[in-house]
Amino acid sequence: MASASHRRSLRKRRALAVSAAAVVAAGAGAGVLAMNANAEAVDLYHQALPAKDGWAASGTGTTGGAKADSAHTFTVSTRAQLVKALGSASDATPRIIKIKGTIDANTDDSGKKLTCADYASGTGYSLAAYLKAYDPATWGKKAPSGPQENARAAAQAKQGKNIVFKVPANTTLMGVPGTGAGIKGGSLQVKGVDNVIVRNLTLSATEDCFPQWDPTDGSSGEWNSAYDSVTLRGATHVWIDHNTFSDAPFFDSAEKSYFGRKYQIHDGAVDITNGSDLVTVERNQFTNHDKTMLIGSSDTDSTGKLRVTLHHNVWKGIVQRAPLARIGQIHLYNNVYDTTTLNGYAPKYSIDSRAKAQVVAEHNHWILPAGGKAAKLLSGDGTGSVVGSGNLVNGTQTDLVAAYNAANSKKIKTTVNWTPSLTAGLQTSAKNLPTELASTTGAGVLS
Ligand code: CA
Ligand code: CA
């Protein structure tokens, strides 16, 4: 463990680096430059994504709510205040929303705690009745339909109305340092809008009270849930920086099974789908989660888009999809993957490249437990590519694709159609990343 003073100096160095980068970012001109000329004048809430910092820096870059006036700068600490500050999803006025402390999404407008039973109330839904109605032994393998499925959907919609926060264009959402800021049980939805920043938040316990049974999902059926902690759909220029994502405190290992399958109440941590494009996901911690990050919702999601950079993130105790990449040009550098089982989350693979995804993965660092195999770090459908060097597995340079391809019939392709150029902060040695990222990632680091 780093000492407290060591951590402080790391933080300071990081802060200085960010300030310097912000000056460079503003170097192209515009009114922001005058403010940024004195780096100290730009606080964390007004920071834009630095120049060349991944795909979200492309074109107009990502400034979030940097230009917000005082009337559109909010400090919120309850769900109702957050909803009010977000305003209308179609109002693109720049806004900064500072989140102080933890907001529980499952509360009503007066702050009263809402339970799954509260959402089900009045819909006629009960899990017992649902299980009775759609037991494959009697219902068969067709999709659930009829009164109990309608009731489930109605209850789910009631919860969704409460816990989904629609983020408008030109918004920065940031946790106030030192307040343990975050959202519990919520889902930030960035849909069809441009220019959004999400920083310094612990986004935890995003749970669907009303999972749907899909008997046709896989060979044995699956329970599917609706909410990601952050969901991007048709979103562009999004910077997701210094957040912590976790299922805690309720882990999948505590879930019951029905119809022989796990009753899964969690969906993605950050899902980037429906033609989303130009996204940078940086210095986050992803932990205690199964399906962590989807890029592209299907093999036909959207061509020419889904360009995403993931760098300096820590993935620890996650099962899969870090990410599951489809179609797009995706750059992964300087990430740390710790594939030791944590709280029952046993890793299956780290990166899945499918549907012709063009993945460049370089200078990442894997920590494998005893008996862990480099051949199991990738996954694919035989059409996706992965290239890139400098990846370390337990400290040793490893060709992940060669290891995977030697053990699998659906080979990962070894050429891509692009060369990353938006690579701010890329370190050409992954050796020290586990130590460095332990104190420079996740919520609570920025100050
Ligand atoms: Ca799902
Ligand atoms: Ca999802």
Q: Which ligand is nearest to the CA of 214?
A: 1
Token pair of 381 as six digits: 């459908």
On whether residue 443 sits in a domain, the answer given is no
Question: Residue-wise over 246-271: b if at least 16 C-beta within 10 A, else e?
Answer: bbeeebbeebeebbebebbbbbbbbb
On whether residue 39 sits in a domain, the answer given is no
How close is the Cα of 52 to the center of ligand 1, in Å? 33
Q: Which ligand is nearest to the CA of 264?
A: 1
Amino acid at 234: G
How close is the Cα of 217 to the center of ligand 2, in Å? 15
pLDDT tens, position by position, for the chain (447 residues)?
A: 344 444 444 444 444 444 444 444 433 333 333 444 444 457 999 999 999 999 999 999 999 999 999 999 999 999 999 999 999 999 999 999 999 999 999 999 999 999 999 999 999 999 999 999 999 999 999 999 999 999 999 999 999 999 999 999 999 999 999 999 999 999 999 999 999 999 999 999 999 999 999 999 999 999 999 999 999 999 999 999 999 999 999 999 999 999 999 999 999 999 999 999 999 999 999 999 999 999 999 999 999 999 999 999 999 999 999 999 999 999 999 999 999 999 999 999 999 999 999 999 999 999 999 999 999 999 999 999 999 999 999 999 999 999 999 999 999 999 999 999 999 999 999 999 999 999 999 999 999
d(CA 424, CA 53): 5
**DSSP annotation string for 28-95:** G-SHHHHHHHSGGG--GGGPPPPTTSSGGGSTT---TTTT--GGGEEEE-SHHHHHHHH--TT----E
On whether residue 18 sits in a domain, the answer given is no
Count of beta carbons in the 10 Å neighbourhood of residue 372: 16
Q: What is the domain count for the chain?
A: 1
- DSSP run (H or E) holding 194: strand 194-199
On whether residue 303 sits in a domain, the answer given is yes
Residue written as tokens 């230009």? 67
The answer to whether 410 and 209 are in contact (CB under 8 A) is no
How close is the Cα of 267 to the center of ligand 1, in Å? 5
Whole-model pTM over 0.85: yes
How close is the Cα of 295 to the center of ligand 2, in Å? 10
Contacts of 409 (CB under 8 A, 6+ apart): none
Q: What is the CA radius of gyration of the chain?
A: 22
Look up the CATH number of the domain holding residue 264. 2.160.20.10
Count how many Cα atoms sit within 13 Å of the Cα of residue 377 in the half-sphere of its side chain: 29
Q: What angle do CA 311, 27, 29 make, to 5 degrees?
A: 130
Cα–chain-centroid distance for residue 278?
A: 14
Q: Which ligand is nearest to the CA of 225?
A: 1
Beta-carbon neighbours within 5 Å of ion ligand 1: 224, 267
Contacts of 112 (CB under 8 A, 6+ apart): none
On whether residue 264 sits in a domain, the answer given is yes
Q: Which long-range contacts does 417-422 make (Cβ < 8 Å, 24+ apart)?
A: 417/329, 417/358, 418/329, 418/358, 418/360, 419/360, 420/309, 420/329, 420/331, 420/333, 420/360, 421/52, 422/52, 422/53, 422/54, 422/55, 422/57, 422/58, 422/309, 422/331
Sign of CA dihedral 56, 57, 59, 65: positive
CB-neighbour burial class of residue 328 (10 A; exposed 0-12, middle 13-18, buried 19+)? buried
How close is the Cα of 46 to the center of ligand 1, in Å? 34
Q: Which ligand is nearest to the CA of 212?
A: 1
Q: What angle do CA 65, 68, 69 make, to 5 degrees?
A: 170
Range of the domain at 91: 70-438
On whether residue 315 sits in a domain, the answer given is yes
How close is the Cα of 298 to the center of ligand 2, in Å? 11
How close is the Cα of 101 to the center of ligand 1, in Å? 29
d(CA 334, CA 313): 7
Contacts of 3 (CB under 8 A, 6+ apart): none
* 307 is known as an active-site residue: no
d(CA 341, CA 190): 31
Q: Which ligand is nearest to the CA of 294?
A: 2
What's the DSSP call for residue 107? B
Q: Per-residue pLDDT tens for 330-364? A: 999 999 999 999 999 999 999 999 999 999 999 99
How close is the Cα of 382 to the center of ligand 1, in Å? 23
Catalytic pick among 14, 79, 152, 321: 321
Q: Per-residue pLDDT tens for 194-230? A: 999 999 999 999 999 999 999 999 999 999 999 999 9
How close is the Cα of 402 to the center of ligand 2, in Å? 31
On whether residue 238 sits in a domain, the answer given is yes
How close is the Cα of 412 to the center of ligand 2, in Å? 25
On whether residue 44 sits in a domain, the answer given is no
Question: Pick from 175, 186, 102, 167: which is nearest to 443 by CA?
Answer: 175
Q: Which ligand is nearest to the CA of 266?
A: 1
